[in-house]
Amino acid sequence: MYFNLSNSFIQRFKVLNAMKNYDKLLEFEVRLPKFNNKPYFEYNSFDFEDFEWIGYEKTESYKTRHIKNLFESLLSNMVALGEKNKYDDAINLYFKSILSKPEYFKYSENLESDLKSLHQQFNKNKT
C-alpha cells in the first residue's frame, strides 16, 4: 500500500529535482500524507519477501523497482534541503530514512555505490 500511495509523489519529486525547483519540491513534501503518523521518509517496513513484478516493459524484482524509486525521491528531497541551507532537516531525513540502512542498498541498482559513499561519510562524521 505504501508504494501505491507514494508512487505519484516520487514521480513529482523526480520532475521537480530535474527542474531544480527546490522550493516547490519542499512545498510539496510538507503536504504529503503521513504513514503511521510519521513523515513519508520514516517509513521502512520493507522486510517482506521479494517477488517478481511484471511491469510495462519487463519483469523485475518488486523491491528493486519500488525501493530504487524511493531512494531517488529521498535523495531529491535531501538535495533540496541542502540547497535551501536546511542542513539539520537533511541530516534528520538521512538518519530517519532508509538512506541510512545499508540492508536496502542492494535494491537501488545504479545508486548503490553513491549510497555506500554517503553512508560512510555520514557515519565517519557521526563519531
Region 49-74 average pLDDT: 90
Instruction: Domain of residue 60: give its range.
Output: 2-126
Gap between the Cα atoms of 50 and 103, Å rounded: 14
Number of domains making up the chain: 1
- In SS3 terms, the chain reads as CHHHHHHHHHHHHHHHHHCCCHHHHHHHHHCCCCECCECHHHCCCCCCCCCEEECCCCEEEHHHHHHHHHHHHHHHHHHHHHHCCCHHHHHHHHHHCHHHCHHHHHHCHHHHHHHHHHHHHHHHHHC
**pLDDT tens-place string over residues 85-111:** 999 999 999 999 999 999 999 999 989
Q: 16 pLDDT exceeds 90? A: yes
Cα separation values, 51 from 12, 69, 73, Å: 26, 17, 22
Alpha carbon 15 to its chain centroid, in Å, reads: 14
Q: 126 pLDDT exceeds 80? A: no
More confident residue, 58 or 102: 102
Q: 127 pLDDT exceeds 60? A: no
